[in-house]
Chains A and B, each alone.
Chain A
Amino acid sequence: MEVVKKLTKKEEEIRKLIRAEVPWEPVGPTPMPEIPDLRSWDMRLLKTYKPWYAPFCDLCCLCTYGKCDLSQGRRGACGLDIATQQARIILLACLMGCSAHAAHGGHILEHLIEKHGADKKIDMGTYIELEAPNIRTVVGLKPETLGDLKTVIEYVYKEITHLLDSTHFGQEGSYLDYESKALHASMLDHVGMEVADIAQIVGFNFPTSVADTPLVDMGWSSVDESKPVILLVGHNPATSTTVIDYLRENNLYDRVEVAGICCTALETTRYSDRAKIVGPLSRQLFYVKTGIADVIMTDEQCIRTDMPIEADKVDSRVIACLDKAMYGLEDATDWDTEEIVKQMVEDKKHFAILDPEKAAEVAVKVAVKIAPQRKKEWISDEEAIELAKKCTNCGVCEQVCPNLINIGDGITELAKGNFDLMKQQFNQCIGCGKCDQECPLNVPIFKIMQVAASKETWKIRAGRGAVMDTEIRNVGAPITLGTIPGVLAFVGCSNYPDIDDVADMVYEFAKRKYIVTLTGCAAMVAGMKKFEDGKTVYELFPPDFDAGGVVNIGSCVSNAHISGAAIKIANIFAALPLRGNYEVMADYVLNRVGACGIAWGAMSQKAASIGTGFNRLGVPVILGPHSSKYRRLFLSRNEEDDWSVMDARKREIVDTGEPSPEHLAYVAETKEKAMVMIPKLCIRKNDTPQGRSIKLNHYISLYKKYMGGGLPEDIQLFVRRDADIPLVYKKELRAYLQQIGWQPKEPVGLPTLIGTYPSKVPLDAVIH
């Protein structure tokens, strides 16, 4: 007898919000999911990929019952144990990241609705019909206008409130449930990012449906210091695009330099290919300290919190353009423009100006007026050597350096006229300025480092936004069959632990015909190394989402287009419905899309939520060594864990014994080890023999290259049949397998986790 479930009022409301009656696809089981709706999926993931906690601290200090000692099995006054406290902190970090992007999306949406109206149509260009894969999958809505995006962002806001509530004293008591909530928050982060970037693409006319975006200049030498310089720092392009509009409208664009740091820089080059990228987050304090910027405009996320203080030291002026960071400055939004300009020029004042148009006008006028008086220039080699001679190499700088660099050695070598070590250290410097602050002899380390800073300029491709549907149609089959060995996403922050690492990894894997995508500061540092013929990876490799392509997707919020591409493979290529159907999409990606994220420099809370969002979608992420300080990973224990899947064709559970992918969130100690791990984490149970053989070929060859020869210790776990063995290693691997008594096993026809755990999703839903 068919059971007809009566819709609750809440479900009716959701169906109304997502216009369920519009039949572009049937509505799946979880439109606008709330905390419990995808919990079963999370618990299934967490069964294999158990949380690994490395507490930063023995204590909980979040309420006045504490401080509570949670070490050695103790519980706090509220009953919380150390594992649950770590999970709670992780949830808080993911919520910070999620709200940063969601608030960015919400703000940009308000700005653009004000400018274009809520009915402004979403048009992502000729080659993108599936415009919002995350939104369609999670929310169940096909957004048609900017106004529809508002419905989406309000859903995200609501969920953030419920999730944050759970971190209050005396609530959630299970680390697994906190992790499920962190996964939920981070999935929502990808929704919020998608809202932000779709709004930007539509509202600012950023590139879309195109791969070959312009190559733009990067590096501080790309900035013409003879002109007035406006430096934009942060992530939100409302201000930067308005500055460019103002310059264009007033025929000033040839007379004023617009440069950016961090994601605002990437966004600005999506608007104007004449804008300059100074560099990633790590270059922020260096550049500000040079005083080259006449006016610094800040917006939100990853901006120095001491910007007005640093600006004062070099006579730069600051305009805080968003309410997220107002620095205690006077709010001059409603003031007369000329009065603000006068006070900034004559009294050297900084202001908060929350109206982008007014901020833009003020910035240009102030920069033009004060630039001729600017007497700031790079330090000379001789001056640096003299300053360095004060250093006694006491070691305090090394003690406070987050990247553990022995800066004292670099400075003392420089004092002798040898710049080599300092140049190397500059590439490792994350730009926090702690060494400068702590030096007991007040050696101006940052100033001295200017002589080690490369004066080179590099080429980076402007961010192109979403992957095109047409590209997905071309690569869907080779990715899921394994003949394109993997889709890599280099995401996250800065140059931690070394600036060359990301470029080296991108080069290695693009050569090996992986599809390499990049976003944010990782996209910038990838372009800050020159290879053969003095070319960067953006000049050496094609910009297509195809084998061997190096694709700059865009800023941090463009990460949603990478998760979106994975969803598109399931929807466009495999024809699985996505509407309100998150579990099916994630299950498909986990078992069949050989994708791997590399958040090598990750340090921020946003990077935590971006990565954790990929994890819920079934994409493993490799982090750099310092990221062990995030204090949580998702690790399996190789063959000792549960690698059972449902073979959906045979409708039976099969114990594959194959740890693919082996981990979901993993820290590699070195770039070399990460390069051995990447091909392994791209292995999927769905690989054809040909695809598996290609993937194993890369795994073995990189292992031999970096691990001193031989075969990987776990190679037998990934060989199902003789046909999986790469031709070039046939003899060696066959001999090894025979020696250890390896037995062949049948590949699984249609691997899925659906059917192996309690879920609302029927097994038929994964059969396409």
Chain B
Amino acid sequence: MAMIPLHRVNVLTGIKSARLIEDASQYANFILKAKRPLLVLGPLLSEWSLDGKLAIEYALEIAENANIPICATATVKGKMVELGTKPDSVYDAVEIVNHLKDPEWQGVRKEGNHDLVIFFGIRSDMEEQCLSVLKHFAYKHLKTMTLDKYYFPHANYSLPNFRKDEQWKGFLEELIANLTKEG
């Protein structure tokens, strides 16, 4: 049976839905195999907390361990500065997606467009729409992945709807550990 996203506004009407992945090592493999991954971080990361640790801190660890450039959307840059780091680029979600759909774009490090785009922390209806843009208009040159605790049908790879935050936290910690080990 097809996975239903947590928020019903994101229910897929169509054919091709995301591959659901619960194994953090599989996610780590996808990330490590990518030549030019990109982490797109949204403002909810400053609101979500897992046992007192902000979700943005997990995101920064993932970026650091796998040397993934960060695109900070909305006001995420402010939070990153507060945490003592800087993003590689600052665009709003719709703007970075607009660049990503062009295969000739040179990416945030000017080394060529990205081949794996990891979304994390954008309001789920908007994140799903951004994923839809790339699913339909960038499917030839990149794949998408999400780290939020919900299922996103328009992504290529998505986490399930985690019923408990502990499961999500466990996944993120394992992912970080796998990236550290491999890196």
Using CB atoms and an 8 Å cutoff, list the residues of chain A in contact with chain B. 52-59, 69, 71-73, 82-83, 395, 398-402, 404, 497, 625-626, 628-629, 631, 633, 635, 637-638, 666-670, 672-673, 676-677, 706-710, 713
Contact = CB atoms under 8 A, between A and B. Distances in A.
A637 B94 CA distance: 11
Contacts of A631: 129
Interface in B70-87: 73-75, 77-82
A706 B8 CA distance: 31
A58 B125 contact: no
Contacts of A668: 74, 92
Given A54-B133, A669-B74, 14 more contacts: A71-B14, A71-B15, A72-B139, A402-B125, A626-B125, A628-B125, A629-B9, A633-B94, A637-B99, A637-B102, A669-B43, A670-B74, A706-B78, A709-B78
B106 to A, nearest CB: 10
Interface of B: 6-9, 12-16, 42-43, 73-75, 77-82, 89-90, 92-95, 97-99, 102, 122-126, 129-130, 132-133, 135-137, 139
B123 A400 contact: no
B94 A399 contact: no
Given A82-B136, A633-B94, A669 B15 contact: no
Contacts of A57: 13-14
A628 B97 CA distance: 12
Contacts of B94: 52, 628, 633, 635, 666-667
A69 B15 contact: yes
B30 to A, nearest CB: 20
A506 to B, nearest CB: 20
B81 A710 contact: yes
B95 A635 contact: yes
B7 A399 contact: yes
Contacts of B77: 707-708
A52 B15 contact: no
A83 B101 CA distance: 13
A628 B98 CA distance: 13
A427 B48 CA distance: 20
A69 B93 contact: no
Given A58-B16, A82-B136, A669 B92 contact: yes
Interface centre among B75, B80, B99, by most chain A C-beta atoms within 10 angstroms, is B75
Secondary structure type dominating chain B contacts: helix
19 contacts: A52-B94, A54-B132, A54-B133, A55-B132, A57-B13, A58-B15, A71-B16, A395-B6, A399-B8, A497-B123, A625-B125, A628-B125, A669-B92, A676-B75, A677-B92, A706-B78, A708-B81, A709-B81, A713-B89
Given A667-B126, A672-B75, A52 B98 contact: yes
Contact of A628 (B14, B102, B129): B129
B41 to A, nearest CB: 11
Contact of A54 (B7, B75, B81, B129): B129
A69 B17 CA distance: 13
Which 3 residue pairs across A and B have the least CB separation, nearest first?
Answer: A58-B14, A708-B78, A708-B81
Interface centre among A58, A667, A673, by most chain B C-beta atoms within 10 angstroms, is A58
Contact of A69 (B9, B14, B75, B81): B14
A629 B14 contact: no
Contacts of B125: 402, 404, 625-626, 628-629
Interface centre among A73, A404, A637, by most chain B C-beta atoms within 10 angstroms, is A404
A462 to B, nearest CB: 35
A707 B126 contact: no
Contacts of A497: 123
Contacts of B122: 669
B133 A673 contact: no
Contacts of A637: 95, 98-99, 102
Contacts of A709: 78, 81
A628 B8 CA distance: 16
A677 B43 CA distance: 16
B48 to A, nearest CB: 12
Contact of A707 (B6, B14, B16, B90): B90
B136 A53 contact: yes
A669 B126 contact: yes
Given A55-B136, A399-B6, A672 B74 contact: yes
Contacts of B79: 708
